Chain A
Amino acid sequence: MAAYVIRRLWQMVPTMAGVILLVFFLFNWVGGDPAYVLAGLFSSQEQIASIRKELGLDEPIWVQLLIFVKQVLIFDFGSSWTTGEKVSQIFATRLPASLTVVGPLLIIETIIGVVIAVAVSWVRGSWIDRSVMILCTTGMSISILVFIIVGQYLLAYRLNWFPVQGWGESFTTNLLVYAPLPILLGLVVSIAPNTRLFRSFILDEIDQDYVRTARAKGMNEARVMFIHVLRNAMIPVITFVISNLPGLLLGAFLLERFFGIPGVGREIILAVERSDFPVIKAVTVYVALATMVFNLIGDLLYRVADPRIQLR
């Protein structure tokens, strides 16, 4: 087990190097000279020169790359170009808000997704199954934006059931007052794809030999489904949820933007709008790292849940 973890961590090094190279290439070559972006429209030659010196842009390209690698390693991307806030500070202050929304959302959407998936797998092939699947496809085809726009308008603006937007200081106020509507809309959006995916996980298990054996032993269908099939189908579900965690944190960016929640996702949108490169660079590099780590955790949990799996 330890050898496996070390090997996996070692394999992350080239990938991480690639991510750093990609980000460096994107922001230093494709994006044009950062000094011009930073200096703005009405800037003199001297201003641009001094910014170039400050950012190390007058150094050769490999020195610049080394500066960037150093930034990644010591977790110091400097300050935001627009607000002057430390990038690490931005992360630390925005993360709690994101987690307040995404945490409950993730737990509830997984539970509901599994329940519906079990229900439609129970009647697989029937007209109920087929119409639920078509309904899911339709639900996935309507833009997330429409759900949020209409939901916010109807439930908050017209019916006044929830605040239209906002965010408070205390965790309980946020969770109980401001987070419920974003979470509800997040659920509406995510249930369709989750149901489809979890259903396919269950149907993958339902034709296995051990299921036939269980039925041949005379077990009733409920016991087969809940004790045998569901336990095995939960393994890919867990892996899926864990390895998607970093992406989900960002995925809520539309919710955060619409509801004025000061989270990581909204910060990224703002950074893109303002060409705030240090923030985007930091987010990209660390989210990539987090994705790899969570993938590893997912694989390890896979092993815990299913001892037959050999980790190599």
Chain B
Amino acid sequence: MNALAEQGKGVWTLAFNRFLADRVGVTSAVLVVLGLLLVLASLLGLVASQWSAEVAIGHAPPHWFKKQPSEPIGGASSRSGLDKAALSNKQQANTPTLTDVVDPIESEMRQIGAYSTLQSRISPSPTDVQDPIANEFAAASKKLGQQRIVPMAERAQSTPWGADKWGRDVLDKTIKGAETSILVGLCAALMATLIGSLLGAFSGWYGGWVDDISNWIYNVFNAIPGILLILAIAAVLDSKGVLSVVIILGVTGWTGVYRLVRGEYLKHRERDYVRAAYAIGASPLRRMFIHVLPNVSHVILVQFSLLTVSCIKAEVILSFLGFGVPVDGVSWGTMLTEAQNDLLLGIWWQLAAATFAMGLFVTALSLLTDALRDALDPKLTH
């Protein structure tokens, strides 16, 4: 009876019904969608667009975390005598600029005419050497002019989730960091899935020398442990930045998708429905991507989801090590870099925010992946 009623429905409808029955899966799906909406809002500038504004005093605590008002960085700092945060705030007001520094032997140097010869020796010969950070420097100083600097007196004493060393709101930073980390994860996973699926599809479909070459490439990439390949590519790519991370993770992550998709295409190539398509004159590409692809797309979907999880985690580590997001950006990884130093001063809110945000999203995405796999592949028992 039940089986009869189900016969008319498509495989996706059935999978969707199975998915709805999975409470853990549905809950995590809701969380993931909320997270993605937040990323979209942040991308459009609706939230956290002013994340880099220094709105509060350095290391301002969260509203609900009250400590002695005179001493914003409580116990740990007084114990170890590290009062750096308060100190640096005071120092900011009267830091000497470079123009104030007087060269003590300037007049003597002028007298002996050393300056002209020295100058010519120091300056690099005009070969093809150029300042590697000239562009970044120009962009940064341009950006600096646009930024509104909040005067010390107007700065808040506390913010909803505390502030970092420079007084930037941690909540805004976490949202902006989520945007970076999740977008990088999604793009890298998309790239890896595309490479793996295309290579796997052609390899499994055509066999022969196409398969041999693809397998060779697969073996080569598989022989080098993932993290080593990632670091090696990070070493040779000069341009540090979001795009580099996407390329690094995309180029290294495709092997798992390739193996599975190749296997599926090998299996489906000889199925009756594909032969029928051949009989009515469908071209090889049409059979591959119109007929077979929808029937293996569940495998690709689950792999994409798995890859997103691992790419987000890898991005966080890369950014933490300084091979990822540039200094003027923020991701969960760079937040953890700062949090490591903050923690020694007893400042825990940045660490808590980044950990909680990442833990929540990645857990939800992992549970969603498990639920998707269960729903799409009912033959799997556990």
A residues sitting closer than 8 Å to B (CB atoms) are 14-16, 18-19, 21-23, 26-27, 30-32, 41-45, 48, 124, 134, 137-138, 140-146, 149-150, 153, 157, 200, 203, 207, 246-247, 250-251, 253-254, 268-269, 271-273, 275, 277, 280, 283-284, 287-289, 291-292
Total contacting residues, chain B, CB less than 8 A: 55
The answer to whether B129 touches A146 (Cβ under 8 A) is no
Binary contact track B344-362/A, C-beta < 8 Å → 1, others 0: 1000000100110011011
Q: Does B276 contact A (CB under 8 A)?
A: no
- Which residues does chain A contribute within 8 Å of B125, judged by CB atoms? 44-45
Closest residue of chain B to A30, judged by CB?
B236
The answer to whether A272 touches B355 (Cβ under 8 A) is no
Report the minimum CB–CB distance from A277 to chain B (whole Å): 7
User: How far does the alpha carbon of A251 sit from the alpha carbon of B225 in the complex, in Å?
Assistant: 9
Report the minimum CB–CB distance from A89 to chain B (whole Å): 20
Closest residue of chain A to B237, judged by CB?
A30
- Extra inter-chain contacts (10) besides given A143-B317, A254-B317, CB under 8 Å: A18-B216, A26-B233, A30-B236, A31-B238, A41-B129, A44-B127, A137-B363, A146-B351, A275-B235, A291-B223
User: How far does the alpha carbon of A251 sit from the alpha carbon of B367 in the complex, in Å?
Assistant: 25
User: How far does the alpha carbon of A135 sit from the alpha carbon of B21 in the complex, in Å?
Assistant: 21
Report the minimum CB–CB distance from B127 to chain A (whole Å): 5
Chain A interface, DSSP helix/strand/loop, else mixed: helix
The answer to whether B359 touches A247 (Cβ under 8 A) is no
Q: Does B88 contact A (CB under 8 A)?
A: no
What is the total of A-B residue contacts with beta carbons within 8 Å? 146
The answer to whether B344 touches A149 (Cβ under 8 A) is no
Decide yes or no: A288 and B223 within 8 Å by CB, A275-B235, A277-B235 being known contacts.
yes
List 27 interface pairs A-B (beta carbons < 8 Å), by A numbering.
Answer: A14-B219, A21-B220, A22-B221, A30-B233, A42-B129, A43-B129, A44-B125, A45-B125, A124-B382, A137-B370, A141-B361, A141-B362, A141-B363, A142-B355, A143-B316, A143-B336, A145-B317, A149-B351, A150-B343, A203-B381, A247-B228, A251-B225, A280-B232, A283-B228, A284-B224, A284-B228, A287-B224
Report the minimum CB–CB distance from B207 to chain A (whole Å): 18
The 8 Å CB contact of A26, one of B232, B323, B382, is B232
The 8 Å CB contact of B24, one of A32, A134, A157, is A134
The answer to whether A200 touches B382 (Cβ under 8 A) is yes
The answer to whether B216 touches A15 (Cβ under 8 A) is yes
Decide yes or no: A146 and B233 within 8 Å by CB, A18-B220, A291-B224 being known contacts.
no
The answer to whether B359 touches A142 (Cβ under 8 A) is yes
User: How far does the alpha carbon of A279 sit from the alpha carbon of B336 in the complex, in Å?
Assistant: 28
Closest residue of chain A to B230, judged by CB?
A272
The answer to whether A22 touches B220 (Cβ under 8 A) is yes
Report the minimum CB–CB distance from B162 to chain A (whole Å): 17
| A-facing residues in B191-249 (Cβ within 8 Å) | 216-217, 219-221, 223-229, 231-238
Closest residue of chain B to A43, judged by CB?
B129
- Which residues does chain A contribute within 8 Å of B232, judged by CB atoms? 23, 26, 272, 280, 284
